[in-house]
Structure 1
């Protein structure tokens, strides 16, 4: 795990190779984290690294506009991760890519204003962004992704923020009732209970700090 160029996928075919997940190959969500960090530092020596990483992210974008998420469920997570990274670059040439992703996020918004995606999307990509119910973490990821893409005044964003406000409980917390991250996709999944605390708080704080105006 975590070795450079860890892409020898044939090793996954070894019997007992840990659910065909013997490797931790490059992923869009992890690459997005690195891009965001290096872009924030803005060091000249990182320019080539960033150029290559962004090229990888552009190749990995799905035809829908979304990105696959390896370490959180799933396409909503991956899309948020990459949009946050690309926003740090402040590169106008990336705007069409980011707008495609934002369009996809708006398209998979639930009827109640939130977002939710089940882990079934790891087995069937046709279920990307879809789930039986909205969740706090996924709604926060979607709102953060929209704001990273430049959204300040869409109905989708304001409805997502309203969902987070409406579903905060009396003790200030949000509930994490569903698996929100894969251990091994298609094999077992996890609940990171902290996701339902800090991601909604992050989304609400960013919404406030950007001065977004809610619709009446």
Structure 2
């Protein structure tokens, strides 16, 4: 069943139990309730490689992913800061190449997403995330926000792909803090001067579908030359 795609619009605990220990390869879950119900059997799906999510999520991410996992796509997701942090921690803990694609991710304001009472210890997910090696986990952003990129500040991401110029602009304030970033993929329309502050670790910058001014391209090349080591453009 590794070539089988299963889309669940509205499921039950019993439905997911029928999938336990099967060889399903791709699972699509349309709501957070479906994701929650599936979480108790996900780790038993020994050939699961792709998980595609929709829905609204808060609290800690409880997805227990199998070792075979390779790709997660957040299609239309509204989530808390802690949920996204703990998802990235779970992906990083797999310790192999796992692609994380963010199509349309909206972060809830911190005051709304915090559901703990004042007497409860709030675990600092971000501190845990900063301690992890995320260099094997490429992040593809197709729709993001300044808040989402701030969440990635100072992390050990190795590969970042930005699908339009707005995301590149939002990411530009944190790029230099990504101390293990080696590859930056760009799409979009660019004008005026390139404002990317690139980290010293950068080795490769593909311009995939880019329309730009001569000033932007010149200033990008100047920024790359200033790194003083081999960088493939």
Q: Which has the larger radius of gyration?
A: 2
Considering fraction of residues, name the structure with more strand.
Answer: 2
Same fold? TM cut 0.5: no
Q: TM-score, normalised by structure 2?
A: 0.31
Q: Which has the higher contact order (CA 8 A, sep 6+)?
A: 1
